[in-house]
Structure 1
Amino acid sequence: MPVLNSTKNLHVIEPPTAKREGVGVFEYTDHYTVFHYGRMPDAIPGKGEAICRMAAFNFRLLEEAGVRTHFRRFIAPNRIEFTLARLPEQAARPLTPASGNYLLPLQVLFRNELPPGSSVHRRLATGDLAPADVGLDAIPPVGEKLKQPLIEYATTRDDVNRFLTPAHAQDLAGLDDEQFQALREITFRVNAVLTGHADKLGLSHCDGKAEYLMSSDQQLVLADSPGTPDESRLMRDGVHCGKQVLRDWYVRSGNEIPTGKLIADGVPRSQWPQPASLPPEFLPVMTDLYRSLSQTWTGEQHQDAPDLLAAARAVADLTNR
């Protein structure tokens, strides 16, 4: 069955119960999403396999660093088998770790620098965020590398995800003080491992996000697809290596879908305007970018792709026309 607004299809192999986790398989598709719209009209050939191989590599890398994950096995070319937790109805009763085996309705965002496209710049400019809210002394310049990573929290089950204070995030996730601190510490470790790997490859790991489940033995377990260009903002020599390239085209061309306003105005999703298709010249360039990024990141030569530097230059040439 499809996952709403996702680039992955979920297949339930064993459904989870109140007492034990289940088993699921994610099939990574060639779709992409921007602006919380859902799947956009174009598919990028090879993207699904590229993202899937990066996700499998990252789970192994993180497990070697002592991070417990929901990863079970990689199924070539574009599927991952994983431990499946329940998705409880939040309104039914407050979440508590004692109930166990549930996906936290929360994403934890980590930021190492604030490149163009980061929501922090927009929120600081509009006054929705003050520097002190995220531990900054002043508004940083675009692209500045931060002295230490920032951690933020946001919802995952709203039509447009909302940023949360730490106190609201802790309450929503149903965690006590010790578990919430553990959540932060695990996230810092995830970020350090992924950022360290990116550094070795000449990449900037600007920011990313992590999601977690609470296991039946009341342990936090890393989920989703951390460190892939669907979840992290990666750059090579100032060029975005992911969907920020596509998001920027929609904004520059005047084709951005104002999903936030549509939701605020109560417009049913069925009445939202159809997004424009990408210019056809974007698809082969983005295919090369995703494939070359995946090969560089994993060290696997599984697809015919150019060198990542050449792929990034092709993106720069295309977007600077």
Structure 2
Amino acid sequence: MPKSFSTKNLRVLREPTGDRAGAGVFEFTDDYSIFHFGKLPDAIPGKGESSCRIAVFNFEMLAAEGVRSHYLGFRPPRGMEFTLLRRLDPAVRPLRPDDVNHLVPLQVIFRNTIPPGSSVLRRIELGRLTPADIGLDAAPGPGTVLSRPVIEYTTKLEEIDRFITRPEAGAVGGLSDDQLTRLEAVTRLVDEVITAHAEHLGLVHADGKVEFGRDDSGELVLVDHAGTPDEARLLLDGHHVGKQVMRDHYADTGLQGQVEDWVRSGRPRETWPAPDPLPRELVELAGEMYRSLCELWTGTRIWGARDLDKVMDRLASITPAGR
């Protein structure tokens, strides 16, 4: 079950029970969310269908490489049917290694590079992270290429998700050390497959996020979706292709710092003022970016979008990162 501020709508086809998985359909919307906000003021035209088609393509590509997931089928143009698992909150009762048929309440983040906009840069600058925490000898700069992908964890079901250590992740997720090791191995395989496809298309796959569940037999399965421009940072010629474009705009207005202040002070999310809308041209170009990326990524012409490099050149000229 997604959080209330998810940008996907969930339709339950069959409720999961303690010993049997259910089924559901995600409808990907044109909404987006950043900085712990719910839906931001603007809808990005074509984003929902583009993201759904990329997610479906990736699940099928990953399945060919042996990655098990909850994906059941595509419901065009923006729907995806999947196995629906229970949501067990570790705040209600601790999860155990022998639990089955539930979402693992973790977000698993993998990093291949440290691009501009990465939380690593800001967390190190603010003293919340040391290079040693992620296996580095010195503080990375924007664009640092890591010799080996780094894996980090955040919580998933808390009001404000937070970074946690590997042992904490095992405890929160109710996973044994062997299960956590298996989860990391699957995460690295997902990263390798998405990265190879991106490189084939001339893109850099800087980092990404995956989530997992445990099926009726307790086996780990990939859930939600992976490698879309919402949870992966993809770059073309140094320019972000995806949600980071909107993040950069609002970071330039000071919104990111404001949100961090509100989180630190414990200000309730429902009292946060809504940000100003995006400039109209940025909304239209962002929609075109999603559609162009989808056609490039899946190899299927749907809208007859412009080549991605042309869209990104124009976007770069009007966004903070490109000025």
Q: Tell me the TM-score normalised to structure 1 length.
A: 0.97
- What's the offset of the Cα at 1:92? 3.1
In structure 2, distance between residues paired with 1:214 and 1:114: 31
- What's the offset of the Cα at 1:99? 2.3
In structure 1, distance between residues paired with 2:124 and 2:254: 23
- What's the offset of the Cα at 1:254? 3.5
Structure 2 partner of 1:294? 294
Partner SS, residue 69 of structure 1: coil
Q: Point out where structure 2 has 5 or more consecutive residues left out of the alignment.
A: none
Matched, 1:173 2:173: yes
* Matched-pair contact (CA < 8 Å) for 2:25–2:82: yes
* Matched-pair contact (CA < 8 Å) for 1:35–1:257: no
Structure 2 partner of 1:251? 251
Matched, 1:228 2:228: yes
* Matched-pair contact (CA < 8 Å) for 1:105–1:156: yes
In structure 1, distance between residues paired with 2:34 and 2:229: 12
* Matched-pair contact (CA < 8 Å) for 1:97–1:214: no
Structure 2 partner of 1:151? 151
Partner SS, residue 281 of structure 1: helix
* Matched-pair contact (CA < 8 Å) for 1:37–1:257: no
Q: Which amino acid aligns with 2:35?
A: F
Structure 1 partner of 2:142? 142
* Matched-pair contact (CA < 8 Å) for 1:35–1:258: no
In structure 2, distance between residues paired with 1:227 and 1:277: 27
Q: Which amino acid aligns with 1:145?
A: V
In structure 1, distance between residues paired with 2:3 and 2:163: 22
* Matched-pair contact (CA < 8 Å) for 1:106–1:172: yes
Structure 2 partner of 1:45? 45
Q: Cα–Cα, structure 1 residues 137 and 24, in superposed 2: closer, same or farther, change >3 Å? A: same
Q: Cα–Cα, structure 1 residues 65 and 144, in superposed 2: closer, same or farther, change >3 Å? A: same
Matched, 1:110 2:80: no
In structure 1, distance between residues paired with 2:265 and 2:135: 33
Partner SS, residue 36 of structure 1: coil
- What's the offset of the Cα at 1:225? 1.4
In structure 1, distance between residues paired with 2:310 and 2:137: 38
Instruction: Give matches, 1:87-98, under 5 Å.
Output: 87-98=87-98
* Matched-pair contact (CA < 8 Å) for 1:58–1:226: yes
RMSD: 1.4
Structure 2 partner of 1:4? 4
* Matched-pair contact (CA < 8 Å) for 1:239–1:312: yes
Structure 2 partner of 1:208? 208
Structure 1 partner of 2:270? 270
- What's the offset of the Cα at 1:126? 1.8
- What's the offset of the Cα at 1:167? 0.3
Instruction: Give matches, 1:114-125, under 5 Å.
Output: 114-125=114-125
- What's the offset of the Cα at 1:93? 2.3
Matched, 1:24 2:24: yes
In structure 2, distance between residues paired with 1:23 and 1:60: 18
Q: Cα–Cα, structure 1 residues 137 and 262, in superposed 2: closer, same or farther, change >3 Å? A: same
Q: Point out where structure 1 has 5 or more consecutive residues left out of the alignment.
A: none
- What's the offset of the Cα at 1:255? 4.4
Q: Which amino acid aligns with 1:76?
A: P
Q: Which amino acid aligns with 2:66?
A: G
* Matched-pair contact (CA < 8 Å) for 2:3–2:157: no
* Deviation per residue, 1:94-131 (Å, 9 max, x gap): 21232201101101100000000000011111221111
Matched, 1:260 2:264: no
In structure 2, distance between residues paired with 1:270 and 1:134: 33
* Deviation per residue, 1:234-276 (Å, 9 max, x gap): 0100111011111111121344473333243333333221211
In structure 2, distance between residues paired with 1:191 and 1:140: 21
In structure 1, distance between residues paired with 2:308 and 2:56: 20
Partner SS, residue 210 of structure 1: strand
* Matched-pair contact (CA < 8 Å) for 1:154–1:164: yes
Q: Which amino acid aligns with 2:309?
A: L
Q: Which amino acid aligns with 2:227?
A: G
In structure 2, distance between residues paired with 1:54 and 1:245: 18
Partner SS, residue 280 of structure 2: coil
Q: Cα–Cα, structure 1 residues 170 and 247, in superposed 2: closer, same or farther, change >3 Å? A: same
- What's the offset of the Cα at 1:2? 7.5
Q: Which moved more, 1:244-253 or 1:293-302?
A: 244-253
In structure 1, distance between residues paired with 2:85 and 2:214: 8
Structure 2 partner of 1:70? 70
Partner SS, residue 122 of structure 1: helix
